[in-house]
């Protein structure tokens, strides 16, 4: 596994994570992420042959099923009011043009 | 006039008509006004709303009999409060006013509590010192050049300094227990599934849990009794009945089997923390508990598992901050530029670092080697505890390997900071309840904490042990010089 993380790797990951990193942040992260990833290499010491993964511990006691009934949701107007840009009359969040831009 | 300080005594005085909720609220707000400029435990103080709420409790005879009637409470700023700014101490949520209350807020309010403000924390609860707060660090009431710990450092400092008797925090890898230890108060992380997270700003959903900071076991028992229980709005909460936690506080720990994983304590723990830990074990033994050496063979891998899985979950949870529905937006010509610029300007360095790590380990080609491997080791760590709990009732370790460190001391080295959590993350990996109990001061007069971990849903045993130590020692009544 690559503990030798390149600048291109960091740029690619930043694009996947929708982060527009500055040049300085990219430089810092090349070094720090490599150190953190090499710390994770320790895990390879553990023998995990035939060991199932744990994704959730909530199975300790299963939550009950709820009744399949409708119930009121949060007020749309109040929610749109929290958005940086929105159109309360139309009931929409507003974003920069996506199609044909 | 004796001034009641702890929630239990405050509530009794209010119910008996010897004290008004308004006076209790005023005392809390006065202490905040006097101490918070130095401690920065609060991100937002709700002076007017709290005073109005206290007067409403005073005016309602039935509210005055509720289990937390008139008790001032502080809430970590990653728990949603309707109509009150909630930022998780991130710039990306600056100005956000939640349209609903978290379930724990509804339950506290129904129990008569008076919420006085929102506390400072590491941004999105990611950190161990509150230095990652976008609005500046909180400070330790015992030594203001030191960290109160994190991520719920503001909640711990608010209780330790006497500003409030109760605060709520969240614990993903130790964020209640480590600051409780560093500030000398009691901090409880309940079992995964015991307390609803509806309205908790999600960090790592398979680890996150809400719990109380208090100065006494009785107060922790009373808060847990109020906030615990199934919630239809959080499908991870279970219907297991909520125990009578107050009834567990018998002071009797005779025959309690305490497991000590000696192999974890041979290096990396400061000598004065080891001394405090051994004093605490001696007290438990003197009280009739039986100490046994146990092994947790995979515990040394817990930090790597925790940061790998936690960051993977965080990278997914934090995808929702995109400048569309809430918080800040950085202007841009296209929607993808808008997302990326909003996130770059809105998130701090540690949050970005964790999103990057999480995205990397989940990305094509690395999933099996990192994420799947970590989930398998998580299983091994759970099995270690299952095995231990066939022989013992609780597992004891120091909560933190060091006392409160100086602000700035670890800020530039992420891995050094992550190692603060070496003894706390396992309880989150295995979903177990765990408590940090004050166990005296070091020679430098800084608090040390004893951590006990128990079987799922056995919070009662943890609280009983805390109560037993309270009765036998003066550790729970040590106060910093600035105590309000």
Q: What is the pLDDT of residue A99?
A: 82
Give pLDDT tens digits for B315-371: 999 999 999 999 999 999 999 999 999 999 999 999 999 999 999 999 988 899 999
Contact residues, B window 126-165, toward A, CB-based 8 Å cutoff = none
The domains of chain A are located at: 7-45
Is the N-terminal amide bond of B250 cis, ω within 30° of 0? no
ipTM of the complex: 0.93
Burial class (CB in 10 A: 0-12, 13-18, 19+), B373: buried
CB pair distance less than 8 Å for A79 and B369: no
Give pLDDT tens digits for A16-54: 999 999 999 999 999 999 999 999 999 999 999 999 999
**Span B130-138, mean pLDDT?**
98
CB pair distance less than 8 Å for A18 and B315: no
Give pLDDT tens digits for B24-36: 999 999 999 999 9
With a pLDDT cut of 70, the percent of chain B lying above it is: 100
State which residue of chain A sits closest to B302, comparing Cα positions: A43
B193 contacts on A by Cβ (under 8 Å): 57-58, 60-61, 63
User: For B99, which of A10, A58, A78 is closest by C-beta distance?
Assistant: A78
Total structural domains in chain B? Answer: 1
Give pLDDT tens digits for B45-57: 999 999 999 999 9
Q: Could you tell me the CATH number of the domain that includes residue B206?
A: 3.90.1300.10
Please give, rounded to a whole number of angstroms, the shortest distance from the CA of A90 to a CA of chain B.
15
**Is B267 near chain A, with CB under 8 Å?**
no
> Which secondary-structure segment (H or E) carries B449?
strand B447-454
Burial class (CB in 10 A: 0-12, 13-18, 19+), B26: middle
Q: What is the pLDDT of residue A63?
A: 64
Q: What is the pLDDT of residue B484?
A: 83
A33 contacts on B by Cβ (under 8 Å): 353, 356-357, 360
pLDDT band with cut points at 50, 70 and 90 for residue A60: low
Give pLDDT tens digits for B400-445: 999 999 999 988 888 888 888 999 999 999 999 999 999 999 999 9
Q: Is residue B338 part of a domain?
A: no
CB pair distance less than 8 Å for A37 and B357: yes
**Please, which residues bridge with residue B169 across strands?**
B211
A75 contacts on B by Cβ (under 8 Å): 99
d(CA B399, CA B177): 7
Q: Is residue B343 part of a domain?
A: no
Q: What is the overall mean pLDDT for chain B?
A: 96
Residues 6+ apart with CB under 8 A from A55: B206, B375
**Is B82 near chain A, with CB under 8 Å?**
no
Catalytic residues of B: 76, 151, 175
Burial class (CB in 10 A: 0-12, 13-18, 19+), A6: exposed
Give pLDDT tens digits for B273-331: 999 999 999 999 999 999 999 999 999 999 999 999 999 999 999 999 999 999 999 99
Give pLDDT tens digits for B213-246: 999 999 999 999 999 999 989 989 998 899 999 9
CB pair distance less than 8 Å for A25 and B380: no
Q: Is residue B437 part of a domain?
A: no
DSSP letters spanning B396-415: EEESSSSSPPBTTSSTT-HH
Instruction: For A7-45, give the CATH class.
Output: mainly alpha
Give pLDDT tens digits for B70-123: 999 999 999 999 999 999 999 999 999 999 999 999 999 999 999 999 999 999
Which two three-digit tokens encode residue B247? 């009834």
Q: Is residue B329 part of a domain?
A: no
Which residue range is the domain that position B169 belongs to?
7-250
């Amino acid at each position: 596994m690559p503990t030798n993380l390149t600048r291109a790797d960091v740029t690619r990951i930043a694009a996947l994570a929708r982060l527009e990193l500055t040049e300085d942040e990219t430089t810092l992260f090349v070094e720090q992420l490599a150190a953190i990833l090499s710390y994770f290499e320790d895990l390879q010491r553990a023998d995990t042959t035939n060991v199932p993964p744990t994704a959730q511990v909530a199975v300790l006691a299963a939550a009950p099923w709820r009744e399949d009934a409708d119930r009121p949701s949060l007020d749309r107007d109040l929610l749109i009011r929290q958005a940086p840009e929105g159109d309360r009359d139309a009931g929409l969040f507003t974003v920069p043009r996506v199609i044909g831009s | 006039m004796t001034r009641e300080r702890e929630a239990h005594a405050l509530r009794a005085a209010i119910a008996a008509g010897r004290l008004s909720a308004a006076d209790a609220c005023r005392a809390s707000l006065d202490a905040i006004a006097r101490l918070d400029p130095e401690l920065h435990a609060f991100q937002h103080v709700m002076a007017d709303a709290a005073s109005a709420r206290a007067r409403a409790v005073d005016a309602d005879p039935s509210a005055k009999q509720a289990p937390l009637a008139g008790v001032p409470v502080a809430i970590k700023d990653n728990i949603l409060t309707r109509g009150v700014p909630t930022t998780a101490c991130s710039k990306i949520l600056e100005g956000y006013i939640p349209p609903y209350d978290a379930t724990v807020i509804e339950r506290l309010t129904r129990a008569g509590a008076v919420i006085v403000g929102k506390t400072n924390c590491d941004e999105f609860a990611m950190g161990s010192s509150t230095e990652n707060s976008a609005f500046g660090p909180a400070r330790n009431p015992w030594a203001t050049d030191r960290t109160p710990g994190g991520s719920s450092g503001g909640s711990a400092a608010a209780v330790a300094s006497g500003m409030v008797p109760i605060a709520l925090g969240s614990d993903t890898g130790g964020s209640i227990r480590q600051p409780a230890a560093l500030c000398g108060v009691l901090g409880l992380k309940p079992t995964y599934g015991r307390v609803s997270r509806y309205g908790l700003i999600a960090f790592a959903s398979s680890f996150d849990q809400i719990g109380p900071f208090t100065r006494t076991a009785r107060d922790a028992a009373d808060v847990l009794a109020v906030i615990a229980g199934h919630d239809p709005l959080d499908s991870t909460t279970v219907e297991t009945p909520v125990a009578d936690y107050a009834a567990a506080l018998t002071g009797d720990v005779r025959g309690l089997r305490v497991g000590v994983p000696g192999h974890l304590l041979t290096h990396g723990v400061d000598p004065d923390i080891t001394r405090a830990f051994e004093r605490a074990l001696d007290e438990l033994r003197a009280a009739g508990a039986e100490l046994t050496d146990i092994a947790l063979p995979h515990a040394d891998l817990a930090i790597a598992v925790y940061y790998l899985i936690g960051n993977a979950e965080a990278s997914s949870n934090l995808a929702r901050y995109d400048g569309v529905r809430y918080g800040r937006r950085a202007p841009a010509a296209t929607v993808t530029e808008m997302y990326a610029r909003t996130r770059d300007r809105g998130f701090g360095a540690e949050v970005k670092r964790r999103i990057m790590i999480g995205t990397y380990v989940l990305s094509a080609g690395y999933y099996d080697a990192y994420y799947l491997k970590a989930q398998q080791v998580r299983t091994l760590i759970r099995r270690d505890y299952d095995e231990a709990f066939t022989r013992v009732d609780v597992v004891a370790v120091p909560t933190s390997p060091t006392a409160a460190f100086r602000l700035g001391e670890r800020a530039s080295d992420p891995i050094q900071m992550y190692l603060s959590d070496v003894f706390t993350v396992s309880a989150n990996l295995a979903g177990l309840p765990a408590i940090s109990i004050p166990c005296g001061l070091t020679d430098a007069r800084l608090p040390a904490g004893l951590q006990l971990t128990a079987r799922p849903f056995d919070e009662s045993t943890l609280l009983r042990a805390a109560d037993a130590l309270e009765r036998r020692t003066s550790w729970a009544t040590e106060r910093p010089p600035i105590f309000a």
